[in-house]
A and B are shown apart, each in its own frame.
Chain A
Amino acid sequence: MIEINNLTAAYGKKQVLKGISLESERGECIGIVGPNGCGKSTFLSIMAGVLKPASGSVYYYGKDALKNPIVFQKMTGYVPQENPLIPELSVYDNLRLWYPDRTELKKELQEGFLQLLGIGEFVKKPVRKLSGGMKKRVSIGIALAGMPPVLILDEPSAALDLVCKEDIKRYLQIYLEKKGTVVITTHEESELSLCDRLYVMKDGRLFPVNRELRGTALTAKF
């Protein structure tokens, strides 16, 4: 379903990703951990079509996304570290941008994923008046516009309180139950517990972590 081959990326002379390959099946949750600045966000940005790699290929459901960028739009939802919101506009207006169909948006707010995220409670508020947790929920709601089969999240719980972290974990569980695929970078143990497969990124390469040895391997790495 997701097929990434020999992905490389560089910022100037600095090689950030050195031939990363990854495969994933439907309904799987893949976690990526690693120290700050190791290239996790760059990797996810390439997976979401925000950045272009120096070389390599990205396939979703057998379609070459790098050759046809619309595949990224259709197949992936991306939650970056910062929230892609216009602060002066209301939550509803921000959602309108990503949900072009007004009827679909209303339906989502009443009985869809947006309702699960609890966005309906503050949909009329301007974004600048929202808490960090609320903004993150709106960001996830935006990423889920059109229900893409792959959800890519870049440290979604960073700088959020415990309740918000638990809420986000719950939403991800529901998404996974609906056979969505999640690729997540995180430092949170609770989110790592969701992952079916875990990778450590180091020196621009991905190293798989054995499920049984997960705790010790991670401890050893950091």
Chain B
Amino acid sequence: MNRTFILWRLEGKHTIKMLPAMFADALFLLGILGMVALGAAKLFLRDIPAVQITVALVEEDENPLTDMALNYVQGMESISESCRFLQVSKQEGFTMLQEGRAAAVVLLPGGVIEGILTGSNVPVQVYFPENAGIESALLKELTDAGVRMLRIAQAQIYGIYDTAEEYGALERLSVLETEVDRYNLAFALDRLALFREREISAPGELSMIEYAAASGGIFFLLLLGMACYPMMQPYSAVMRKQLAREGISVCAQCFGKWLCGLCCMGTGGFCFGLSVKGLTALSGYAYLFPKVHGERLAVVLMSGTVILLCVTTFVFLIFQAAGNGTAAILALFFLASVMMYFSGGFLPSVFLPDIVRRIGEILPTTYLIEAAGSMYTGTLSAKTAGVLLLYTAGFGIASLAAGRRMP
């Protein structure tokens, strides 16, 4: 038998022998991921706003009454959760707006509170940036809604006064106002009626839980590479030289190791999928697992294949470039975590800073999460599959180059 095939066969045997140890490592990883998932679920399932809006407040005149009113407003739970008010000078406020550090600048003129009390209503000016981002858009929506509420409330107050005066019932004015307030609070000022209610999901077509499952699966696969180190780590220098002397090229040596890694990752990924399916079925959340029958099966298989090829080749590249197992494991953990963060694997990218989003767009993990998500949507875009295959080819070539450069 050709010596290269013997080497591959022995590596295969080696891989089978190492599978139990790899599964033990994978279980440990699952434990860590489970804890991360639990934390993430607690974060995502809380009914709190995902963004906090920074508003620059500019008081044109120092006024204790205005300060008191502002402290009261800022202290309200619904406000403090979604907005952060910073009292600044006018110039500083506009600088913050230009630099994108504030979603709006609110100019409070002198006597604004007194104006409300006397009915003179000194206008408050609110400035939004020209290319308003999500925070500014939200704040504008809130401000408009508030203005509408105030307008209605004021119209009602004047209406009650005029009606009471017309019918000579001014002595009953306080009773009438209390009644109108009750109606307003119960029906007319129902805040939901003033907002357009539209459910949107940060991860696009996927629900938050599906997105978390897709990115969690990719993160697991990347970390599984650490458990595959006995198969993926390069041979010792002396072994490589001896194999080369016997006519087993670097390319053949690398291919054998990569193939074993692919089998390990494939088996690990398959078992991970099965265990998640089992757990979701047992806990009554079977609908959370992607459907893998009928037409969907082909998409799941295609996505799974491109994901597996890309992740395995990436992990293999890290092992080849690092040169030894320990360095590769550390590098893999660091790179996987950073790349997943940049690609929105831990928090959907719409919530990340612009620069992080832009870097994330070119990372393979972004496309890997998309491909994993396609198992839920049932459509794998040609672009995603193509990019992942290109990445796989690139990683493969780089691995070979790294293998050839080893001493």
A binding-site residues for B, Cβ under 8 Å: 45, 48-50, 69-70, 72-73, 78, 80-86, 88-89, 93, 96-98, 100
Contact = CB atoms under 8 A, between A and B. Distances in A.
A70 B10 contact: no
A100 B6 contact: yes
A84 B238 contact: yes
Nearest to B10: A93
B295 interface: no
B405 interface: no
6 contacts: A73-B245, A81-B238, A83-B238, A88-B17, A88-B18, A93-B14
A50 B247 CA distance: 11
B242 interface: yes
B236 interface: yes
Interface in B7-62: 7, 10, 13-14, 17-18
Interface in B236-253: 236-239, 241-247
Contacts of A97: 3, 6-7, 10
Contacts of A96: 6, 10
A98 B14 CA distance: 16
B235 interface: yes
A88 B230 contact: yes
B246 A89 contact: no
A107 B18 CA distance: 30
Nearest to A49: B245
A219 B18 CA distance: 51
Interface in B314-331: none
Contacts, number: 56
B1 interface: yes
Interface of B: 1-3, 6-7, 10, 13-14, 17-18, 230, 235-239, 241-247
B249 to A, nearest CB: 12
A84 B247 contact: no
A89 B239 CA distance: 13
Contacts of A85: 239
Contact of B14 (A69, A72, A89): A89
A86 B3 contact: no
Contact of B10 (A73, A80, A86): A86
B41 to A, nearest CB: 39
Contacts of A98: 246
A84 B10 contact: no
Contacts of B17: 88
B242 A84 contact: yes
Given A78-B242, A93-B10, 18 more contacts: A49-B245, A50-B245, A69-B245, A70-B247, A72-B245, A78-B245, A81-B238, A82-B237, A84-B238, A84-B239, A86-B14, A88-B17, A88-B230, A89-B10, A89-B13, A89-B14, A93-B14, A100-B3
Contacts of B246: 73, 98
A78 B242 CA distance: 8
Contacts of A82: 236-238
Contacts of A49: 245
A128 to B, nearest CB: 11
Contact of B247 (A45, A73, A83, A88): A73
A27 B352 CA distance: 74
Nearest to A50: B241
Contacts of B13: 89, 93
A127 B230 CA distance: 14
Nearest to B237: A82
Nearest to A84: B242
Given A70-B247, A100-B6, A86 B18 contact: no
B237 to A, nearest CB: 8
Nearest to A143: B242
A97 B245 CA distance: 13
A7 to B, nearest CB: 17
B98 to A, nearest CB: 56
A93 B17 CA distance: 12
B238 A80 contact: yes
List the 6 closest pairs (A to B, CB-CB), nearest first. A84-B242, A82-B238, A50-B241, A84-B239, A84-B238, A80-B238
Contacts of B2: 100
Contacts of A72: 245
Contacts of A69: 245, 247
B38 to A, nearest CB: 35
A71 B247 CA distance: 11
B281 to A, nearest CB: 36
